[in-house]
Amino acid sequence: MKKQKRIILSGSPCVGKSAAGDLLFQMYENAAYLDGDWCWCVNPFRLDDPRLREGDKAMSAVLSNYLRLGFDYVVFSSVVLMYENIRQGILKNIPETGYEAIGFTLTCTEENLRQRHKKRGDQNECSLEWLRLPHYPGDYVIHTDGKTPRQVAAEMKGIIDGRED
């Protein structure tokens, strides 16, 4: 029997996590997708909001539910997954076992990140903080410069499929 796959996508805002994650999810049958932004979509959003980590509990609950319900592929993307303590906090609250975990960190050059941020029309200042963080240990690192989201998703799928039993 094939093991379930929990696929994590992390990286800076505007690096392509949501676009590539959604396309990756569509490439598989019996798959589920969670964009971590859905779990803490509040106005105003502030990094100093003491309630912010409550969104992590929602992420854990949705991922746990997807795994419990038997989806073969569970794709999960979020910028907060770049932080080891936050990623581990989310994952430790998932009681399901027996699945394979595969992590990806998406990255690009600072110039490309600025261009993508501007193209998205975001009124906030483009932060390079996340882009400069060390990649999560054990993640596959994919550079998204010069690639479409579909190409990034296909590259991830190739890695995932290459790990199949």
pLDDT in tens, 67-109: 999 999 999 999 889 889 999 999 999 999 999 999 999 999 9
Question: Where in the sequence is the domain holding 28, given as residue range(s)?
Answer: 5-162
pLDDT digits (tens, 9 = 90+) for 122-147: 777 778 888 888 999 999 999 999 99
d(CA 118, CA 122): 6
The CATH number of whichever domain residue 131 belongs to comes to 3.40.50.300
What's the sign of the alpha-carbon dihedral 62, 64, 68, 74? positive
Whole-structure pTM value: 0.91
- Work out the angle at residue 82's Cα, subtended by the Cα atoms of residues 112 and 91, and round it to the nearest 5 degrees: 145
Domain count, the chain: 1
Cross-strand pairs, 9: 77, 104
b/e 3-13 (16+ beta carbons within 10 angstroms → b) = ebbbbbbbbbb
Sheet bearing 140-143, strands edge to edge: 31-35, 73-77, 5-11, 100-107, 140-143
